[in-house]
Chain A
């Protein structure tokens, strides 16, 4: 396709969409898009997310999004974490038996010294920002998913600038990351039962995934320790989720960086190339 044809098609699409929006607007006069008041459900979440006067129905975290993700709809997020886990495990299973060759090839040296030094500093800063985003998730915009995704940028940068052998030497191996990721998932599972365990030990009743005290379940985690807000279980969930997400993505990047010759040897080895 020639360049001018693409320009014409792109410009005509812009005009088409602009006219379509005009028709839509003319047909919808008197009806305001977006609406001027949010839905009733949104008002419930907005008024209940941090409400000391109604502690039985509040998540006691000023961040409404994190409160919904890990308190009001916490079980949903648990199952979505399970989907995440299965997708990563499926990728690992596709690459089973593939490992790095013992001796690094001479081309695996990475970029120049200046780039490497700057990158070392940058990786430290990326990890610091990621930790800040994850650990303050119950107070400001951020949380486990955001912090984990930000932290996963660091191993990717290291892969591009150094090499996969550098990561291997500095202790970022596939098995270790699998362990870290399992520790994160285990932490999420334990935090989900934390209040229930404490409640059963003291002879009361509680719900699974409980954070603050609820009717008929009077035990909850403290939402403030010495004046600092913790959001109860939200802080723990954010920390463990950041661990699981960043380690999970790091596994996939490590597998993606294995030289292609090695992988083909494993895929076709023994058979006559299909």
Chain B
């Protein structure tokens, strides 16, 4: 039987690892559309993290901004410019 505190801290650590891998993939990916998707995964991990860290105000502002508006705006930008990062 896992204590609830250990469970919550474990989920926090897993979310941290997920966000780290997503950040690495987003920064190294050459296809910018895929990079935006990885960045959105990182944002989702952060949103859950804020919820578990007892910051509901931040969740309410972070979900529309970082999961909704950021990727949409960057996708607009990619559509108007170029999709692949140069070698």
Contact between A and B in the complex (any CB pair below 8 Å)? yes
**Among A8-16, A41-49, A218-226, which stretch is in contact with chain B?**
A8-16
- Mask: chain B, 35-67; 1 = CB below 8 Å from A; 0 = not: 000000000000000000000110111001100
With A10-B24, A149-B64, A153-B64 known to touch, is A65 a contact of B69 (CB < 8 Å)?
no
Q: Which residue of A lies closest to B22 (CB)?
A: A10
- Provide the residues of chain B in CB contact with A65, threshold 8 Å: 57
Query: Nearest-CB distance from B76 to chain A (Å)?
Result: 5
A133 interface residue, CB < 8 Å from B?
Answer: yes
Size bracket, chain A contacts? 20 to 34
- Provide the residues of chain A in CB contact with B76, threshold 8 Å: 256-257
A213 interface residue, CB < 8 Å from B?
Answer: no
**B contacts, CB < 8 Å to A:** 17, 20-21, 24-25, 28, 56-57, 59-61, 64-65, 68-69, 72-73, 76-77, 80
- Contacting B at CB under 8 A, from A178-223, are none
> What CA separation (Å) do A66 and B56 show in the bound complex?
12
> What CA separation (Å) do A249 and B65 show in the bound complex?
11
Q: Which residue of A lies closest to B77 (CB)?
A: A256
Q: Which residue of B lies closest to A152 (CB)?
A: B69
Q: Which residue of B lies closest to A133 (CB)?
A: B60
A74 interface residue, CB < 8 Å from B?
Answer: no
> What CA separation (Å) do A156 and B65 show in the bound complex?
12
